[in-house]
């Protein structure tokens, strides 16, 4: 459901694992995308396998065990409900809802229909986070006192998705920056504290960089049309999308998808005309924050912080967990973390052990995107649908509630400049 980038990422698992997963149909309002999906996965391009909407699919007899729902954020709940009522299980892209009312509606529908719903919190499946979670479960650092997470969103990711792109304006996407980008990280916070309710949350943030008042003097409105300073600009559309034609191509060149192999000249002309990715980075219609800080208070008196900073030189997620018997800290992109423990022996203060996933036979790069999480998530969903057996990373709908609720409350706290009660499940 929704033949876009994320749906294909998950559905591609079927091409390499045909004994576990088979794609049998598609629902998408775009005729060419339906045809492309049918061709890619080898099912007939006809009215019995290709549908214009979730409603059209739900009106037909059930034709599969489950649906991969990769629609846009604000479409998740409206497209999911009729399919859950029809009896489908579902692998549902995050965020599974864009507000609390939608969240509760989906939760109630799934419960009433005894639906199997799994949310695509793929970071849980990255070997880096899975290993850290297992160490915590094993008691390696005792009881958790504080969790610190940081997400640095690279300058080119920030520009393509949250300033020029699909999630740049909450009035259109219906998702805040925190919900669209960092609900992964908020989910990790709640996952590491599973079983402990979050009580209160505070948050601060805003749009510091990508606003008209920060625009360099003399800048034009479109990089390749009327900008005399384009050659020296770090956010030049030419530098981002022509010099790197394959980076973020599934976003930038979607208007050219009807052309099998568009040329560089066709791409340049697209950026000059009506392609939104050709706009000056400081003169877009974005209203999302580019930095946000969050503090969470849990019912056991432990705390957690999360910082999202957009426009960083390099994308990075790092973590530092402090427990009563030790600490865990590391950087996901380095595929390495450390466990530091108190050492009271003479001439010592602490001991430190390194866990390098690259040398432990668990190299994330061999398992797809999101730090190795994408394919592992789909494999877990297959088991979830078959017999209900799952890994420690599995994110059921119920297990995803607190993370989403914390996001909704954090944005409310930021807007109202106050501390908000979470009252988690």
What is the phi-psi region of residue 208: left when phi exceeds 0, alpha when psi lies from -120 to 50, beta otherwise?
A: alpha
d(CA 181, CA 201): 19
pLDDT at position 257 is 82
User: According to the model, what pLDDT value does residue 388 have?
Assistant: 84
Which helix or strand (DSSP H or E) is residue 308 part of?
strand 303-312
3-state secondary structure of 392: coil
Reported in sequence order, the residue ranges of 171-270 that DSSP labels E, i.e. its strands, are 198-206
The answer to whether the beta carbons of residues 197 and 424 sit under 8 Å apart is yes
- pLDDT at position 370, please? 53
Mean pLDDT per 10-residue section of the chain, whose length is 425 residues: 92 96 97 95 96 96 97 95 97 95 96 96 93 96 97 97 96 93 94 92 96 96 97 97 93 88 94 96 96 97 98 96 97 95 91 91 50 86 91 91 94 96 75
User: Residue 267: in which H helix or E strand, if any?
Assistant: helix 264-272
In the chain, the N- to C-terminal Cα span, in Å, equals 29
Give residues with Cβ within 8 angstroms of 231, minimum separation 6. none
Q: What angle do CA 199, 201, 204 make, to 5 degrees?
A: 180
Torsion over CA: 163, 165, 169, 174 (sign): negative
Comparing C-alpha atoms, which of 323, 355, 352 is closest to residue 340?
Answer: 352
What's the sign of the alpha-carbon dihedral 97, 100, 104, 105?
negative
Contact 337, 355 (CB under 8 A): yes
Q: Which residues, in sequence order, are bridge partners of residue 89?
A: 66
Partners of 203 in beta bridges = 294
Do 83 and 102 contact (CB within 8 A), yes or no? no
pTM, entire model: 0.90
Q: Which pLDDT belongs to residue 54?
A: 95
For residue 366, the model assigns a pLDDT of 44
């Amino acid at each position: 459901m929704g033949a876009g980038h994320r749906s294909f990422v998950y559905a591609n698992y079927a091409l390499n694992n045909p004994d576990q997963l088979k794609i049998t149909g598609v629902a998408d309002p775009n005729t060419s995308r339906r045809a492309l999906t049918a061709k890619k996965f080898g099912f007939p391009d006809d009215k019995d396998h290709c549908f214009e909407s979730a409603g059209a699919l739900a009106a037909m007899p059930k034709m599969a065990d489950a649906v991969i729902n990769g629609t846009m954020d604000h479409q998740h709940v409206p497209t999911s409900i009729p399919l859950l009522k029809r009896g489908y299980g579902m692998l549902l892209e995050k965020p599974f809802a864009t507000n609390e009312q939608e969240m509760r509606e989906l939760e109630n529908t799934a419960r009433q229909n005894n639906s199997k719903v799994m949310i695509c919190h793929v970071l849980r499946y990255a070997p880096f986070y899975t290993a850290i979670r297992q160490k915590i479960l094993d008691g390696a650092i005792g009881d958790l006192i504080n969790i610190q997470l940081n997400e640095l969103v690279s300058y080119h990711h920030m520009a393509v998705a949250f300033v020029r792109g699909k999630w740049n304006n909450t009035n259109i996407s219906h998702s805040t920056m925190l919900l669209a980008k960092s609900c992964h990280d908020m989910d990790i916070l709640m996952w590491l504290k599973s079983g402990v309710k979050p009580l209160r949350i505070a948050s601060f943030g805003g749009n510091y960089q990508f606003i008209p008042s920060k625009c360099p003097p003399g800048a034009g409105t479109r990089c390749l049309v009327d900008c005399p300073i384009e050659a020296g600009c770090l956010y030049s559309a030419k530098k981002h999308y022509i010099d790197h034609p394959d980076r973020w191509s599934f976003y930038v060149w979607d208007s050219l998808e009807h052309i099998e192999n568009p040329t560089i000249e066709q791409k340049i002309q697209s950026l000059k005309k009506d392609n939104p990715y050709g706009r000056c980075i400081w003169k877009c219609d974005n209203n999302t924050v580019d930095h946000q800080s969050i503090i969470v208070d849990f019912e056991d008196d432990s705390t957690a912080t999360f910082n999202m900073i957009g426009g960083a030189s390099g994308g990075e997620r790092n973590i530092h967990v402090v427990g009563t018997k030790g600490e865990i800290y590391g950087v996901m992109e380095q595929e390495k973390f450390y466990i530091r423990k108190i050492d009271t022996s003479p001439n010592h203060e602490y001991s430190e052990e390194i866990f390098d996933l690259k040398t432990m036979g668990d190299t994330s790069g061999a398992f797809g995107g999101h730090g190795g999480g994408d394919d592992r998530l789909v494999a877990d969903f297959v088991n979830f649908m078959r017999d209900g057996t799952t890994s420690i990373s599995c994110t059921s709908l119920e297990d995803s509630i607190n993370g989403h609720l914390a996001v909704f409350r954090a944005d409310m706290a930021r807007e109202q400049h106050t501390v908000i009660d979470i009252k988690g499940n």
